[in-house]
Amino acid sequence: MLFGSTSLHDYSVYALRRKDLVALVKQEHPEVKSGLIVICAGFENERTAFRQESSFYYLTGIADPGVILTLDLQGKSTLYTPQCKTNRSAWVYSALPLVQENGKIVLIDHIKPAGAAIAGYQLNLFSSLEAFSAVLEAMKSVMATGGSICTLLPNDDRSYTEQRVLFNRFSTVLHELPRHIVDISTPVATMRRRKDMHEVEQLYKAVEITILAQEAAARAIAEDITECEVQASLEYMFTGSCARPAFPSIVATGKNGTVLHYNVNKDTLKNGQMVVVDIGAEFGSYCADITRTYPVSGKFTKRQRELYDLVLATQEYIASIAQPGYWLSNKDNPEKSLNHIAMKYLEERGYGKYFVHGIGHFLGMDVHDVGDVTQPLKDGDVFTIEPGIYIPEENIGIRIEDDYWMAKDVVICLSEALPKKADDIERMMAQELEDEEEFEDEDEDSDFNQEDEEDDLDLAQG
Distance (Å) of CA 410 to CA 188, 204, 366, 381, 406: 25, 16, 23, 11, 6
Mean pLDDT across the chain: 91
Summarize pLDDT for 324-338 with one digit per residue, the tens: 999 999 999 999 999
Q: At 459, is the pLDDT very low, low, confident or very high (cuts 50, 70, 90)?
A: very low
Mean pLDDT of 383-393: 98
Q: At 46, is the pLDDT very low, low, confident or very high (cuts 50, 70, 90)?
A: confident
Q: Is the pTM of this model over 0.85?
A: yes
Distance between CA atoms of residues 227 and 373, nearest Å: 34
- State the sign of the Cα–Cα–Cα–Cα dihedral 305, 306, 309, 315: negative
Q: Is the pLDDT of residue 7 over 50?
A: no
Higher pLDDT, 348 or 93: 348
Q: Is the pLDDT of residue 190 over 80?
A: yes
Does domain 195-431 bear CATH number 3.90.230.10? yes
Same fold? 12-192, 195-431: no
How distant is the alpha carbon of residue 271 from its chain centre?
Answer: 32
Summarize pLDDT for 95-128 with one digit per residue, the tens: 788 888 889 999 999 999 999 998 888 888 899 9
What is residue 3's predicted lDDT score, i.e. its pLDDT?
45
CB contact set of 63 (below 8 Å; sequence gap of 6+) = 50, 52, 57, 95
Domain definitions of the chain by residue range: 12-192, 195-431
Higher pLDDT, 457 or 229: 229
What is residue 102's predicted lDDT score, i.e. its pLDDT?
87
What is residue 19's predicted lDDT score, i.e. its pLDDT?
96
Q: Is the pLDDT of residue 441 over 70?
A: no
Q: At 2, is the pLDDT very low, low, confident or very high (cuts 50, 70, 90)?
A: very low
CATH for 12-192 is 3.40.350.10
What is residue 406's predicted lDDT score, i.e. its pLDDT?
95
Using alpha carbons only, what angle is made at residue 429 by residues 423 and 432, rounded to the nearest 5 degrees? 140
What is residue 91's predicted lDDT score, i.e. its pLDDT?
78
What is residue 434's predicted lDDT score, i.e. its pLDDT?
62
E strand map for 315-454 = 382-385, 388-391, 396-399, 402-407, 410-413
Using alpha carbons only, what angle is made at residue 23 by residues 97 and 105, rounded to the nearest 5 degrees? 20
